[in-house]
Amino acid sequence: MTDSKPSKKRKIEDECRVFNKEWTDRYLFTDVRVKAVCLICHDTVAVFKEYNLKRHFQTKHTNFGSNLSKQKLQRKATDLIKRLRQQQTMLQKTSSLQRNATKASFVLANKIAEQNKSFAEAEFIKDCMVNAVNVVCPEVISKVEAIRLSRRMIVRRIDAIAVDIQEQVLTASVSFQWFSIALDESTDIQDTAQVLIYIRGIDKNFGITEELLSMESLKDTVTGRFIQQCH
Ligand SMILES: [Zn+2]
């Protein structure tokens, strides 16, 4: 597409899509990263284009500030920006709190799996943590309460960890120069014999990866077929 009127001067903000600070007082907008945010309704406008901001302000907030002097309107805009920044900080804090709670839930699920504990014990652990924290540092109780440790959640976490470990082994196995497989036999709580398959691989930098590759029930005659499948 070519410009039919090359002589027509375009405004710099139209060319570069830069947020013009004057739009804050004029249309009550501010820039948050790559978007323009309306200070009144917090709607976002994806493109830094004066026409879009002006249209938003004129259609949605027609009479906003019409009874205010220019100075008062500027002060109002400053206040609204401050409030918006506070809200954003609050949201960031909440999301980092959620992130930490999720991480803690994974750490505990991993421990439960490592120690062969019953999944239901996580609920008991949480109960203990909540009670202890309530005594020692009640000001952070909400952080502990946010850690999800229900039995169902632990199942989901352990599944996710298993998938992740599997992907890590698969990724590492691509660079194995040599590998060996070790088998071990064990029985589960229902007395079914299980064969445990371990892999140990070494890459060209002598980095060693050792992991439980699979666990298979020994119901009938066992052949080397499933070991090949794992490989
Ligand atoms: Zn608005």
Three-state DSSP state, 226: helix
For residue 176, what are its two tokens? Answer: 């194995």
The shares of helix, strand and coil residues in the chain, as percent rounded to the nearest 5, are 50, 20, 30
Tokens 């020994």 -> residue: 218
Q: Over the stretch 7-25, which tens digit does the pLDDT of each residue have?
A: 455 555 455 578 999 999 9
Residue 101: alpha-carbon gap to chain centroid:
11
Each domain of the chain, given as residue ranges in start order, spans 12-67, 94-154, 175-230
- The per-residue pLDDT for range 161-183, each reduced to its tens digit, is 999 998 998 898 999 999 999 99
State the distance from the centre of ligand 1 to the C-alpha of 29, rounded, in angstroms. 8
What is the tens place of the pLDDT at every residue in 25-79? 999 999 988 899 999 999 998 888 899 999 999 999 988 888 888 889 899 999 9
Q: Which of 10, 131, 122, 24 is nearest to 82 (CA)?
A: 24
Q: How far is the CA of 86 from the centre of ligand 1 (A)?
A: 18
Q: How far is the CA of 23 from the centre of ligand 1 (A)?
A: 13
Report the alpha-carbon distance of residue 153 to residue 108 in Å, rounded. 11
Distance 44 CA to ligand 1 centre (A): 8
- 148 pLDDT tier (thresholds 50, 70, 90): very high
Q: How far is the CA of 186 from the centre of ligand 1 (A)?
A: 66
Mean pLDDT of the chain: 87
Distance 28 CA to ligand 1 centre (A): 8
- Measured in Å, residue 77 CA sits from the centre of ligand 1 at 13
DSSP 8-state class, residue 139: G
Q: What is the pLDDT of residue 193?
A: 85
Q: How far apart are the CA of 94 and the centre of ligand 1, in A?
A: 25
What is residue 204's DSSP assignment? T
Rounded distance, CA 144 to CA 167, Å?
A: 30
The predicted pLDDT at position 9 comes to 56
Task: Report the pLDDT value the prediction gives residue 191, as an integer from 0 to 100.
Answer: 81
